[in-house]
Chains A and B, each alone.
Chain A
Amino acid sequence: MRVALFVTCVNDTLRPRTGRATVAVLERLGVTVDFPMGQSCCGQPFLSTGYRGRTGPLVRRYLEAFGGYQHIVTPSASCAAMVREQFPRLAGETAAGVASRTFELTEFLVDVLGVTDVGAYFPYPVAYHPTCHGLRVLGLGNRPRRLLECVKGLELRELAGAEECCGFGGTFSVKNPAVSAAMGADKARAVTAAGASAVCAVDNSCLLHIGGTLARQGSAVRPVHLAEILASTEGEVW
């Protein structure tokens, strides 16, 4: 099977290792990965800040870059939600097909490939934070947990108030810094209390906020994208 990787602008620029990990997992499962170089940002930061009119070129760019693929895979629930839920509203019928062929990584693994054990090894206690767009827009349900439960050596720790937003919210984090920081501090405290050595999610934007807050609090807990855990093997720990 051949898929196109939509790496997202945040991962491309700030967390390329998540993109590399996604490639590693998919290739290990026998999938051929393409990376259309014309890809850029899905436009979500513009839409959610009120600049709906600025999303047009980015939506068109996405449709051009990925239009020819049957499966488009992205390691970001938030960007997948933007493409699937908002593109048809922004660009109408022309976007509906590509939107429905765009999958968040855990959806692709569990639903399309039908795999939960990807042969990963990650010998650490991990707390999983279900990010809002994965949980409530895409409806990922227990897919990420099922994947994590199959990782050898991994011990899943319960996170109190797991389904509550971390307070990132894109430009919310700078437009409403006090509330964002208060929410982030509560999330970081819950992560620390879970006794995990890593906090895991399917969105690096949320992890930048949670990880940045943990680091400022002097915590040793590492933010790790789920793809990096799935890419880890006994031979190569990410």
Chain B
Amino acid sequence: MKTQLGMPAFPEAAGRSTRDLRLRANLRHATGLIRERRAAAVAELADWERLRAAAAAVKDRTLRHLDHYLLRLEERVTAAGGTVHWAADAEEANRIVTGLVRATGEREVVKVKSMATQEIGLNEALARAGIRAYETDLAELIVQLADDTPSHLLVPAVHRNRGEIRDIFRERMGHWGRPAPKGLGDRPAELAEAARLHLREKFLRAKVAVSGANFMVAETGTLVVVESEGNGRMCLTLPETLISVVGIEKTVPTWQDLEIYLQLLPRSSTAERMNPYTSLWTGTTEGDGPRHFHLVLLDNGRTDTLADQVGRQALRCIRCSACLNVCPVYERAGGHAYGSPYPGPIGAILTPQLRGLASPLEESLPFASTLCGACYEVCPVAIDIPEVLLHLRARVAEGGEATLRGTRTVIRPARRHTLERTVMDAAAWALDRPGVLRRGQRLAARTRRLHPRRLPGPGRAWTESRELPEVPPESFRDWWARTRGGGR
């Protein structure tokens, strides 16, 4: 996350990635494949729409009473032998985790793939404290070895093809531990074996693991990690100390509620009927698994988001990435253009809320969509992403009220939008005066032979790739008035 600060606004970053033909091909291939598979997996369930409605309702109810459920969760985790820590923001969470690792005397940790720890930049914070964090999810390993950043929630290295991955393994594995086998090729089985050998060494040595969680069940204090490789389970079971950093919105009240999400998540994310490795643990158990368990409950903008009546639905997200896979803008722009660990449509509504409209990047994200609605259609928890985008666009363009670090704050209209605002005001004025509109149409019609084919200034954005529409000699209303005598 640290490495992504100071990112350019979305249009510039996306403009660069649309010209990267290899990236475009990798993404088109990967998202196209998963899109079709997801649709088939979802079509198998006759009650999908009802599951989806239940999932949204349970999350909404839980979020409405989050204070209650979080306290119950803390009580149950503590009773089961765990320790709960509360972190208001990224800095506090990083400080807590760093302190916990230091207290063990260890200088390295193994990590389960986790969005929350990317959001807070934990690896970088640990590195500053002299602690090495090893990513063990295969794709996160690829990203870490290449000194890259993830570009997808679920498939962080989706922007890489296997030739690139082979090169990264060959060149970089040796710097982090066991080098890649000699003569490594690019067949998936060979690449997986190289990663297995490289990681096994770390699993067997590690004394501390850091994870996130997909869900936390309040009634028993149980945490749930859903993954496909089994590497996560290695981290969750082998080390002596386990530290889990989890966003407060991951809470579900009961096991019965959990059942809904365990049906929705695998079909939406990997198009699987059932998830391959589902690890659940409750505190600590004598003689089985880590002896010390710490849960760091992370706010980092979530309570602020919860205060927004329209925007709060983004907190229902279960990070399945169906919205990324179906998004035509994500497919062309790539994940890095979103300047956050949360790319794609969900990132476009989550990042500006968690961080606030902190820079031109966050201000540009709500506009990184055609409002085509494909994301809403596939979302398993029915987040109306287009509606939240419209809501956030209004906050950027017109300003308004928002909650920032617990305080109601007046947001001023974005400075960048001054020219646009003037144009919009003029257009709104003319459109509300049909006489003015009509005179404008006639002027455009009379001068139609003089219209240039390419426009300067902001209009260039249109004529760069498209012809301008030809203005007709007579508007519809003039035709109607001429042939039907003015109408009503």
Contacts and interface: CB of A to CB of B under 8 A. Distances in A.
Contacts of A12: 441, 475-477
Contacts of B328: 164-165, 167, 183
Nearest to B326: A164
B372 to A, nearest CB: 4
Interface stretch (A93-101, A116-124, A172-180, A228-236): A172-180
A141 interface: no
Contact of A45 (B11, B329, B427, B471): B427
B426 to A, nearest CB: 11
Contacts of A48: 371, 390, 393
A153 interface: no
A132 B464 contact: no
B487 A34 contact: yes
B476 A183 contact: no
A204 to B, nearest CB: 9
A37 B371 contact: no
A151 interface: no
B5 to A, nearest CB: 22
Interface string B386-405: 00001001111110000000
B370 A35 contact: no
Interface residues of A, number: 66
B333 A35 contact: no
Contacts, number: 196
Contact of B394 (A15, A52, A170): A52
B394 A35 contact: no
A184 B465 contact: yes
A46 B458 CA distance: 17
A48 B465 CA distance: 22
B450 interface: no
Interface string A159-200: 000011101111111111111111111000000000000000
B368 A216 contact: no
A172 B466 contact: no
Nearest to A34: B488
A50 B374 contact: no
Interface in B35-86: none
Given A177-B464, A215-B467, A50 B432 contact: no
B14 A181 contact: no
A181 B329 CA distance: 11
Contacts of A11: 476
Contacts of A211: 467, 469
B479 A16 contact: yes
Contacts of B377: 136
Interface in B438-481: 441, 444, 458-459, 461-462, 464-469, 471-472, 474-477, 479-481
B373 A133 contact: yes
Nearest to A33: B484
Interface in A119-150: 132-133, 135-137
A178 B397 contact: no
A182 B427 CA distance: 28
A164 B437 CA distance: 34
Contacts of B444: 13
A212 B374 contact: no
A37 B372 contact: no
A221 interface: no
Contacts of B441: 12-13
Given A36-B487, A50-B393, A208 B14 contact: no
A3 interface: no
B113 interface: no
Given A16-B479, A182-B332, A165 B431 contact: no
**Chain B CB within 10 Å, residue with most, of A46, A179, A208:** A179
Interface in B1-42: 10-11, 14-15, 18-19, 24
B327 to A, nearest CB: 9
A70 interface: no
Contacts of A9: 431, 437
A92 interface: no
Contact of A174 (B396, B431, B434, B461): B461
A20 interface: yes
Contact of B462 (A20, A58, A174, A182): A174
Contacts of B190: none
B428 interface: yes
Contact of B471 (A14, A37, A209): A14
A181 B466 contact: yes
Contact of B432 (A58, A172, A182): A58
B398 A181 contact: no
B487 A37 contact: yes
B467 A212 contact: yes
Interface string B162-206: 000000000000000000000000000000000000000000000
A215 B462 CA distance: 13
B398 A51 contact: yes
Nearest to B470: A14
Interface in A53-109: 53-54, 57-58, 61
A85 B148 CA distance: 42
A207 to B, nearest CB: 9
A16 B472 contact: yes
Contacts of B395: 50
Contacts of B464: 177, 181
B93 to A, nearest CB: 33
11 contacts: A13-B471, A34-B488, A41-B431, A46-B427, A49-B424, A51-B398, A58-B428, A61-B432, A174-B459, A177-B462, A183-B332
Interface of A: 7, 9, 11-17, 19-20, 34-41, 45-54, 57-58, 61, 132-133, 135-137, 163-165, 167-185, 208-209, 211-213, 215-216
Given A52-B398, A183-B332, A185-B465, 12 more contacts: A7-B476, A48-B393, A50-B417, A52-B394, A168-B370, A174-B458, A175-B461, A176-B11, A176-B368, A177-B461, A184-B465, A213-B466
